[in-house]
Amino acid sequence: MIYLIFSILFSTSLFVIFKYFDIYKIDTLKAIVVNYLVAFAFGFGLSEITFSINEIPEKPWFFGAIVLGALFVAIFFVMANTAQQNGVSVASVAGKMSVVIPVVFGVLLYDESVTLLKVVGVLIALISVYLASVKEERSTFNKAGLLFPILLFFGSGAIDTTLKYVQINFVQNNEAALFSGSLFGFAAFFGLLILLVKTLRKREPFGFKNIIAGIVLGIPNYFTIVFLIKAMQTSGFESSTLFTINNVSVVVVSTLVGLLLFKEKFSLKNKIGVILAIVGIVLVTIA
């Protein structure tokens, strides 16, 4: 459970950091590239096993790391734009309501249990995620502003589902750091390619503040994935239960942080959402 708690806290910090990117006018793409280079270095530096770089292509999770690396850099960019254009709470709700995707695949692929209590808990959790994050200003949800939240919803669901599939089938317990470092390395590679194309079109200084921002982002980003993988390996929860608890908790914590840090209003809907989130987590946990 401690791994899950740490994953929730580090994941919440990502939304907050992205919000500060907008405040301090950080170049999101450059910071994301630096972030993945930092996470890559952490993954290899903190690996629990000795290894050779030449051995990595022979690992059974190698192809999965490539796919996840591409998804990571794409969805991180979408997440940043959602947090900046729509707000922290909207980015949180869009990303974490995607829990329904790995829950469904958990039942279909791994024959995880389907009980009335779990179904009710997941439904309550999804409702709570919306209520905890919804803003009174309806203009936030105009049609033009829905593109990034929708992409974030499906992209986050694809990442969670793919991560679980690769972890359960190919990643050994002592390879969490090495696997994480590898997928971050591929994410950095894809990010550098995008940055290279952008630089060829418009040359501009990289910017020292973008490097610092990337380092600040990269450390919690690395630990978010490592702790989530370790939680999947040791928690004893089914993936449908684990992802529900993780995603709903991130929304609740992100909402509270947004209220305290960015002075967002705490409406009656938000209060009901937080209460329902707790109820949903309890139901899914005991189901």
Per-residue pLDDT of the chain (287 residues; tens, 9 = 90+): 788 999 999 998 988 898 888 889 899 889 989 999 999 998 888 877 777 888 889 999 999 999 999 998 888 888 888 777 777 767 777 777 777 777 778 777 777 777 787 788 778 877 876 776 666 655 444 554 677 888 888 888 899 889 888 988 898 878 888 888 899 999 999 989 988 888 888 888 888 999 999 999 999 999 998 898 888 887 667 777 787 788 778 877 877 887 788 776 767 887 787 788 778 777 766 66
Task: List all residues 6 or more positions away from 199 whose beta carbon is below 8 Å from its beta carbon.
Answer: none
Closest C-alpha to 284, from 245, 248, 253: 245
Find the DSSP H helices in 97-207. 100-110, 116-133, 147-170, 176-201
Q: How far apart are alpha carbons 160 and 209 in whole angstroms? A: 31
CA 36 to chain centroid:
14
Q: Is 50 exposed, middle or buried (0-12, 13-18, 19+ CB in 10 A)?
A: exposed
